[in-house]
């Protein structure tokens, strides 16, 4: 049996802005997205016969059938590229927290798409793979591309940016989830008081200025976060107090991330939060 192992890196939103609600029910976004070293692992066994797609999740609290984005990505790849499935077994080993605002499921789906392209359609253009990715989910095109990206529209209009300066990142997910549809439902764009300075963030990244880039972090979802999720801001304040350059929520939360310019301070912040929160991580910009 052929065995192929892949890493599926998580993402953080260095900025997240909502511009308008569209007629199709989606929202036009403007975001700077960044992959980090925190990752899931996907083990693929292709060409295993039987013509079926199977997925095992090693006890992780995620669906392992057609509802899983990795499974959906495999099915769509075979359908969209008119490629017969000669059997595909997948094993998912989760490390990215679930429902955390870090695109864990999207990262898994993206890895499946890239792996299958390499196996079955190596000449398939990246743009075509990203088109298939969008059918899986809004964050999947970014996860296919990775790196530092300005994403607009639903997330499918992407501009690759200069590499974000590599630095320590501390992440902490409190013990609750937040409904993404609920947060979108709370947003009235005309009533938002502040918007992230995405243009300034892009400029800072182009200059390679970590401190300037950190000062431009922003996420409009923080403004409409219900009061019962105030723990997000408590974690943010603890990270800032531990010496972070800046900190904020990624995606629709509830995970909070912080950028550091000092490994020792980052480790200290990680160790302090890990005493209170099991899903705390010390990672790096990828």
Indicate the pLDDT class of residue 21, thresholds 50, 70 and 90. Answer: confident
Indicate the pLDDT class of residue 154, thresholds 50, 70 and 90. Answer: confident
Indicate the pLDDT class of residue 147, thresholds 50, 70 and 90. Answer: very high
Model pLDDT for residues 7-18, shown as the tens digit of each residue: 999 999 999 999
With a pLDDT cut of 70, the percent of the chain lying above it is: 100
pLDDT at residue 59 in the model = 73
24 is catalytic: no
pLDDT at residue 128 in the model = 97
The strand pair at 168-172 and 280-284 is best described as antiparallel
| Mean pLDDT value of segment 63-85 | 95
pLDDT at residue 61 in the model = 78
pLDDT at residue 26 in the model = 84
| Mean pLDDT value of segment 77-100 | 96
With a pLDDT cut of 90, the percent of the chain lying above it is: 87
User: Which of the following is catalytic: 11, 94, 114, 173?
Assistant: 11
| Mean pLDDT value of segment 242-260 | 98
pLDDT at residue 133 in the model = 97
139 is catalytic: yes
Model pLDDT for residues 45-56, shown as the tens digit of each residue: 999 888 899 999
> How many Cβ atoms sit within 10 Å of the Cβ of residue 284?
14
Residue 110 structure tokens: 């993206």
**DSSP line for 153-216:** ETTTEEEE-SPPPP-EEEEE--S----HHHHHHH--GGG------HHHHHHHHHHT-HHHHHTT
| Mean pLDDT value of segment 51-78 | 91
Model pLDDT for residues 102-115, shown as the tens digit of each residue: 999 999 999 999 99
243 forms beta bridges with none
215: region left, alpha or beta (phi > 0 left; psi from -120 to 50 alpha): alpha
- Nearest alpha carbon to residue 79 among 113, 56, 45: 113
pLDDT at residue 79 in the model = 97
Q: What's the pTM?
A: 0.95
Annotated binding site for ATP: 97-107
Q: Report all structural domains of the chain as residue ranges with CATH numbers, in order of start.
A: 4-160 (3.30.230.10), 168-284 (3.30.70.890)
User: Which of the following is catalytic: 114, 139, 173, 216?
Assistant: 139
Q: What's the mean pLDDT when you consider all of the chain? A: 95
Residue 164 structure tokens: 């974000």
pLDDT at residue 65 in the model = 85
């Amino acid at each position: 049996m052929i065995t192929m192992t892949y890493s599926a890196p998580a993402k953080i939103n260095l900025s997240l802005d909502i511009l308008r609600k569209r007629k199709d029910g989606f929202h036009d976004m403007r975001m700077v997205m960044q992959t980090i070293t925190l990752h899931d692992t996907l083990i693929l066994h292709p060409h295993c016969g039987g013509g079926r797609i199977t997925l095992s999740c090693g006890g992780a609290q995620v669906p392992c059938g057609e509802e899983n984005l990795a499974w959906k990505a495999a099915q769509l790849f075979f359908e969209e590229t008119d490629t017969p499935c000669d059997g595909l077994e997948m094993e998912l080993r989760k490390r990215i927290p679930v429902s955390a605002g870090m695109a864990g499921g999207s990262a898994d789906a993206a890895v499946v798409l890239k792996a299958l392209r390499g196996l079955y359609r190596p000449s398939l253009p990246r743009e075509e793979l990203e088109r298939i990715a969008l059918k899986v989910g809004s964050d999947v095109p970014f996860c296919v591309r990775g790196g530092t990206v300005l994403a607009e529209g639903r997330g499918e209009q992407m501009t690759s940016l200069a590499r974000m300066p590599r630095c320590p990142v501390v992440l902490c997910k409190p013990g609750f989830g937040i409904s993404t549809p609920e947060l979108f439902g709370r947003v009235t764009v005309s009533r938002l008081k502040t918007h992230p300075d995405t243009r300034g963030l892009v400029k800072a990244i182009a200059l390679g200025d970590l401190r300037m880039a950190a000062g431009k972090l922003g996420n409009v979802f923080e403004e409409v976060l219900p009061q019962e999720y105030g723990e997000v801001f408590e974690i943010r304040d603890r990270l800032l107090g531990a010496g972070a350059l800046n900190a904020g929520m990624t995606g629709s939360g509830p995970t909070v991330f912080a950028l550091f310019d000092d490994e020792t301070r980052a480790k200290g912040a990680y160790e302090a939060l890990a005493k209170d929160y099991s899903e705390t991580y010390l990672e790096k910009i990828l």
